[in-house]
Amino acid sequence: MSGIDKEFIRTLKEKVNIVEIAESYFSMEKKGVNFWACCPFHHEKTPSFAINEVGQFFHCFGCGESGDVIRLVSEMESLDFMGAVKMLAERAQIPLPELAEDDGRAAALKKKKETLLKILNDCAHFYLNNLSSGKADAHVNYILNRQIPANMVRTFGLGASLNYDDLPRYLLSKGYSRQDIIESGTVNEANGRLSDAQGGRLIFPIINSYGEVIAFGGRVLQKTKFGKYVNTKDTLVFTKRNNLYNINLVKKLKRTTAVKEIIMVEGYMDVISLYSAGFKNVVASMGTALTQEQARLLKRYVDTVYISYDGDAAGQKANLKGMDILKDEGLNVKVVPLPEGLDPDDVIKQHGTEGYQKCLDSAMPLIDYKLKVLKRNFDVSKTEDKRKFVSEALEIVRTSETATEQEELLKQLRVETGVSLDALKNDLEAKRPEKPVQKIEQPTQRKDSADATQKASRFVIAGLLFGEDYAKDVDISSIKFVNDAHIIIAKYIRSKRLMEEPVRLSELFEFFDEHTPEFEELNKILDYADGSGLDGEVGEKYFNDCLIKLKLNGIDEEISVLTKSLSGISDLIDRAKVAQKINELAKLKEKIKTGKNL
């Protein structure tokens, strides 16, 4: 967690209600103690995303994502921790405090990020000034040849790197250390020499969703055996797979206009060209294959994505995997057909805004596009090719989730192949895999590879954490937990008992960093947040059985340690004392097995 004062964080979370915040992002329905919604982090039809108003936390019983109100805002707004805190503080109308002095590591990390962002911002201005310096004729000519309007140059902050030496010299003169400018990704070091990582290129600043320059893309101005474009390497403030070019302006647009869909293109020039033509809801994946992180980023803004890659058949086929990633995240994916060999920038230049709009209007659902791509591999006038095409096409049709769509696709196959509709339907049904029996209204449960002891430990922690009556008088100090997350949570519950204060579930998220085994373990425990398995006589009996198992495990471990120590004890009296202790523990085991001493 950030170095900001922990008491302020707790005060902030008391001032804002997670249910009210969640309502601004998606619709919910109250059932029992929780509010339920379809999870914003994974695709689902049956709501398994619960918002607990009493505990002030959210938890998805399908994918396991969980967190407090700060994490919810962070995810939904594409903000870092401090950005989410600032937004909530403004909503609650409370001023932000200074960083806590005792949190040195968090404060140092924050300072490092601030330094890198300042370097990147200074670089952006340096490149911008170069472009208008009168020394960047090649860069200006490229801009003119590509017909980039002057206002778009300003909007996207385009700049120029004139050589390899000026930038590192400039940054050093500003007082930045060699280490920091290297870590920013703007400068490379080889054999002790510093050089501009984008030397000689036309510069495209990459700006994140809250307006910070985090990296650069650079375009060579002459033919080269290397790639035309180079992006900043991954750094502390930039991970390519997590970002999209122009997401900052899309976010700004969404604040003033209803943005229902986003156009996804391949590169910087496509974005600028479409934006200039009035299609402002456009982003680029910066030349990389689409990632799950990018799909989730898009999902925070829209439900529909138009894929508008160039008209090269081979290139579009290669991107099918990325399109499936978007679909798997619950996005409605449509593919924009472009004239063969043209990219969006070409279409705008040759056919104008109306020409590109016609392409958008002709966008086809992903499943139709897959069939179109598949057909390119076969000559259906040949019997063998036709049979193979039909067989593979039916596999695609089976992925459709509605009978109506399937029938429409089969009719299309009938026209393309001449195979009767009845035959296509029969073949479709013949190979249809049996659907597994599912209980209605039950969210998908995650796989759990934990052993019996860890599961027992989880159940005991859950009983203690959620205040079940049968767990209230249990002596927590008598239980030997092994898992780090369980130890920390048990210590927290015990401290609250000693201070006679209520357990605040939202505070648990302050103890663990995201994407760690401990955080994942907390998520597993929160799978009991709906009360399933904890209630009633069955829950109480299982809790006691788990408690017995944990206590017996603790005693067995103690006996094992004492037994091993005997070999190193020569004094008969001391050996007798250890043997007596082992005997006492053995008797205690028998009592615990009968349900006593719990």
| Tens-place pLDDT, residues 538-593 | 888 999 889 888 988 888 888 888 888 888 888 888 888 888 888 888 888 888 87
Contact call for residues 274 and 282 (beta carbons, < 8 A): yes
Using a 10 angstrom Cβ sphere, with 0-12 exposed, 13-18 middle and 19 or more buried, the burial of residue 391 is exposed
Neighbours of 66 (CB within 10 A): 28
pLDDT of residue 66: 92
pLDDT of residue 315: 54
Q: Which position has the higher pLDDT, 507 or 438? A: 507
Contact call for residues 326 and 295 (beta carbons, < 8 A): yes
Site of tokens 């040759």: 350
CA-CA distance, 177 to 206, in Å (whole number)? 23
pLDDT at 438 over 70: no
> Phi and psi for 214 in degrees, rounded to 5?
-120, -10
> Most confidently modeled of 23-37, 98-112, 155-169, 319-333?
155-169
pLDDT of residue 443: 38
pLDDT at 154 over 90: yes
Tokens for 541, please give them: 């009996």
Contact call for residues 156 and 162 (beta carbons, < 8 A): no
pLDDT at 439 over 70: no
When pLDDT is averaged across residues 328-336 and rounded to a whole number, the result is 89
CA-CA distance, 453 to 227, in Å (whole number)? 54
Q: Closest Cα to residue 131, out of 218, 216, 203?
A: 203
Q: What's the CA angle centered on 373, arms 371 and 378, to 5 degrees? A: 90
Contacts of 117 (CB under 8 A, 6+ apart): 212, 213, 214, 237
pLDDT at 60 over 50: yes
pLDDT of residue 142: 96
Site of tokens 């294959």: 289
**CA atoms within a 13 Å half-sphere pointing along the CA-CB vector of 396:** 22
pLDDT at 180 over 80: yes
The pLDDT confidence band at residue 7, using thresholds 50, 70 and 90, is confident
Contact call for residues 421 and 406 (beta carbons, < 8 A): no
pLDDT at 433 over 70: no
Site of tokens 């998220």: 509
pLDDT of residue 32: 84
Altogether, the residues listed in the chain come to a count of 598
Mean pLDDT of all residues belonging to the chain:
87
pLDDT at 449 over 90: no
pLDDT at 437 over 90: no
pLDDT at 328 over 90: no
pLDDT of residue 445: 42
Site of tokens 């028998």: 590
When pLDDT is averaged across residues 145-174 and rounded to a whole number, the result is 96
When pLDDT is averaged across residues 40-48 and rounded to a whole number, the result is 81
CA-CA distance, 208 to 124, in Å (whole number)? 14
Of 102-116, 123-137, 235-249, 460-474, which range is least confident?
102-116
pLDDT of residue 200: 95
CATH annotation of 6-92 = 3.90.580.10
Dihedral sign (CA 142, 147, 148, 149): positive
pLDDT at 446 over 60: no
What three-state secondary structure class fits 535? coil
Q: Which residues pair with 194 in a beta bridge?
A: 189
pLDDT of residue 535: 80
Contact call for residues 496 and 503 (beta carbons, < 8 A): yes
The pLDDT confidence band at residue 254, using thresholds 50, 70 and 90, is confident
Using a 10 angstrom Cβ sphere, with 0-12 exposed, 13-18 middle and 19 or more buried, the burial of residue 104 is exposed
When pLDDT is averaged across residues 46-52 and rounded to a whole number, the result is 91
> Phi and psi for 415 in degrees, rounded to 5?
-65, -40
**CA atoms within a 13 Å half-sphere pointing along the CA-CB vector of 94:** 15
Neighbours of 8 (CB within 10 A): 17
Site of tokens 């919910």: 28
pLDDT of residue 99: 55
**239-365 classified as CATH 3.40.1360.10:** yes
- CA–chain centroid gap for 239, Å, is 12
Sequence-ordered alpha helix ranges (H) in 184-305: 247-254, 268-276, 292-299
Site of tokens 């992180």: 293
Percentage of residues of the chain with pLDDT beyond 70: 92
Fold of 105-237: DNA primase DNAg catalytic core, N-terminal domain (3.90.980)
What is the identity of the amino acid at 579? Answer: A
pLDDT at 598 over 70: no
Neighbours of 331 (CB within 10 A): 23
How far is residue 148 from each of residues 65, 138, 257, 273, measured CA to CA in Å?
Answer: 43, 14, 25, 7
DSSP code of residue 504: -
Q: Closest Cα to residue 180, out of 218, 245, 237?
A: 237
Neighbours of 50 (CB within 10 A): 24
Neighbours of 469 (CB within 10 A): 8
Q: Which DSSP helix (H) or strand (E) runs through 241?
A: none
When pLDDT is averaged across residues 465-471 and rounded to a whole number, the result is 89
